[in-house]
Structure 1
Amino acid sequence: AADLKFWHHGGDKLVVTVDSAVEKVRATLGDLADVVSIGPDLDWGLVLDELGRRGVKQLMVEGGGTIHTQLMAQNLADEVHLAVAPLLVGQAGAPKFLSAADYPGGSTSRMRLLEARAIGDVVLLRYAPKERG
């Protein structure tokens, strides 16, 4: 991992991890990144607090259903960008945008649509989840 170009170009690097992984990450990366532990378990609120202390005001998170579910269930996403593509993915094990969770406002709460834009044959939908009404 330390030989990837990412670690050797651009600005300062930060890795936020949990206690059980911090030593392994430090041993792998050496001085290529500042490695910070947020405790025994992943807590997105603590991750965002750490980034805020470092001056990060905006963060784009790309991930799978687990990360999306954690951020949405904890009401930590200011915007959600969804791309609707003309592909049919219906396999039982196919990844989903969100998993089961208790979401703020419950199942009848609606997000506010900020933008809908066609990009070729894909539509980008931009929502504000915290402005539920």
Structure 2
Amino acid sequence: MTGSRETDRRSRPYVTLSCAMSLDGCVDTAAPHRLALSNEADFDRVDQLRADSDAIMVGASTVRRDNPRLLVRSEERRRARVERGLTESPAKVTVTATGDLPADSSFFTAGDIEKLVYCPAGEADRISRALGDRATVVGLGAEVSMTLVLEDLAQRGIGRLMVEGGGRLHTQFLVERLADELQLVVAPFFVGEAGAPRFVRPGRFPWDEGHRARLLDTRPIGDVVLLRYALSARCPASVADEVARVQASSPVP
């Protein structure tokens, strides 16, 4: 069974979870405005991670609440992607159960790149009509599982997937043991709100004494700290291994 699971994992995209949180595990406040958890130096690191990815995924609630553009910011990185035969920014991916997605949000309007919306099969036609040509809507089963999403992304040529949240999405990938790497930034303050959204939600996480996340790197970035964890055997053990993997996965011009 273990061998079969590892074979399936190798055929799926390499999944990196990316998150910034407070000391008490919150990723935002309960207030409408967005809480700044990072700094410019870390935003630049995240921009590099985006540039190295084939697709970026966020949940529907993140699309509604944060209205993210999910584009590579650096002109140099965008140019480098184009020189490698890629689009300026990675494809965008979201998952919804209801189709409650604002069609005029930046997820759909920003960037001349592919946008994919995964939803239950029974909702696909309705959501597709609502979004029109703004995105490709993919219906997957009665309920969307991350396993099915990854299988479909692999068939579309996605080799590296960056997951930027929110908590429901991160929890699904962790509970189902589908994430290969976690890059977690910790900000130097507490939020302290009972209703504040958190990095993960309650779930049956599979790590125990035999399946503990492996700490690869701890790095201060200004006033925040980056913790990088390996969640599977596919995660490179060193920076040199990471560079080699990125080069190997890049299309030949």
Q: Indicate the TM-score class for this superposition, using the shorter chain for normalisation.
A: 0.7 to 0.9
Q: How does 1:9-20 map to 2 (within 5 A)?
A: 9-20=111-122
Distance 1:41-1:6 versus aligned 2 partners, 3 A rule: closer
Q: How does 1:55-94 map to 2 (within 5 A)?
A: 55-94=157-196
Task: Report Cα offsets for 1:22-72 as digits up to 9, x if no partner.
Answer: 123211221222211011102000000000000000111111222111110
Aligned to 2:231: 129
Q: 2:219, 2:227 within 8 Å by CA — same for their partners in 1?
A: yes
Instruction: Give the residue type in structure 2 aligned to 1:7.
Output: F
Could you say what secondary structure the match of 1:35 adopts?
Answer: strand
Task: Report which stretch shifted further, 115-124 or 43-52.
Answer: 115-124
Could you say what secondary structure the match of 1:110 adopts?
Answer: coil
Q: How does 1:28-107 map to 2 (within 5 A)?
A: 28-106=130-208
Aligned length: 131
Distance 1:5-1:65 versus aligned 2 partners, 3 A rule: closer
Aligned to 2:87: none
1:21 corresponds to 2:120:
no
Distance 1:105-1:4 versus aligned 2 partners, 3 A rule: closer
Distance 1:25-1:77 versus aligned 2 partners, 3 A rule: same
How far is the alpha carbon of 1:112 from its aligned partner?
A: 0.9
Could you say what secondary structure the match of 2:216 adopts?
Answer: strand
- Aligned-residue sequence identity (percent) comes to 46
Query: Could you say what the CA RMSD is over the residues aligned between the two structures, in angstroms?
Result: 2.0
CA distance in 1, matches of 2:124, 2:209: 37
Task: Report which stretch shifted further, 16-25 or 29-38.
Answer: 16-25
Q: Please list every run of 5 or more consecutive structure 1 residues that lacks an aligned counterpart in the other structure.
A: none
Could you say what secondary structure the match of 1:60 adopts?
Answer: strand
- Aligned equivalent of 1:2, options 103, 109, 118: 103
Task: Report which stretch shifted further, 51-60 or 111-120.
Answer: 111-120
CA distance in 1, matches of 2:221, 2:127: 38
Q: Please list every run of 5 or more consecutive structure 2 residues that lacks an aligned counterpart in the other structure.
A: 1-101, 234-253
CA distance in 2, matches of 1:3, 1:105: 40
Distance 1:73-1:15 versus aligned 2 partners, 3 A rule: same
